[in-house]
Structure 1
Amino acid sequence: MIPFRNSLPYDIQMNEVYASACPFCKMSHVRLPLKPAEIKDLRGGFMKRAVVFPCCRTRLQLIDADDDYLLADRALRPD
């Protein structure tokens, strides 16, 4: 189970990965530099991936994923 405070909701649209909002600058509908195949590799924690948000250039380490959320190595939301 993914801890809610470390999670980031995402969608896949037209073979691109979008976050509903940037957890750092609050910009909405941010396209992430990830491919859907990389999300499959993240599942189960087999691969880790650093992602830089294009809106504010903040780096985030992704360590796991499920069908709806990406799991980061740090808290992205208040408790």
Structure 2
Amino acid sequence: MEMIPFTHTWPYEMMMGDIYFQSCPFCHEEQVRTNMKKAEFQRAHEGIKTRLIMPCCHGVMTILEADDDYFWTDKPLRKG
């Protein structure tokens, strides 16, 4: 499998079972609580492609895999 570049990552935090972003990669809204369900989060951790629609701006993040700190996506979310 091809390695995903770090520019295609976005950090997340889990608090009380909810997934939060410090800021949205699309509209830059701060402290965004996602609507990601536990089953979707589990699929992302298993490396199953998962779509996440941001509640703030409806930007779509396609998560290819997840680790304990980052979502690894199919497009760049940060500058290299």
Interval of TM-score (by shorter of Structure 1 and Structure 2): 0.7 to 0.9
Q: Does the 8 A contact of 1:12 with 1:36 survive in 2?
A: no
Q: Partner residue of 2:33?
A: 31
**Alpha-carbon distance, 1:44 to partner:** 4.3
Cα distance in structure 2, aligned partners of 1:13 and 1:49:
20
Q: Partner residue of 1:64?
A: 65
Count of residues in Structure 1 that have an aligned counterpart in Structure 2: 78
Q: Show structure 1 runs of 5+ residues with no match.
A: none
Q: Deviations over 1:23-59 (max 9, x none)?
A: 11111111112134432321242x1111111111111
State the TM-score, normalizing by the size of structure 2.
Answer: 0.84
Equivalent pairs: percent with the same residue? 38
SS at 2:43 equivalent: helix
Q: Partner residue of 1:4?
A: 6
Structure 1 residues 2 and 29, CA, compared in 2 at 3 Å: closer, same or farther?
farther
Q: CA RMSD in A?
A: 1.6
Q: Show structure 2 runs of 5+ residues with no match.
A: none
Structure 1 counterpart of 2:73, which letter? A
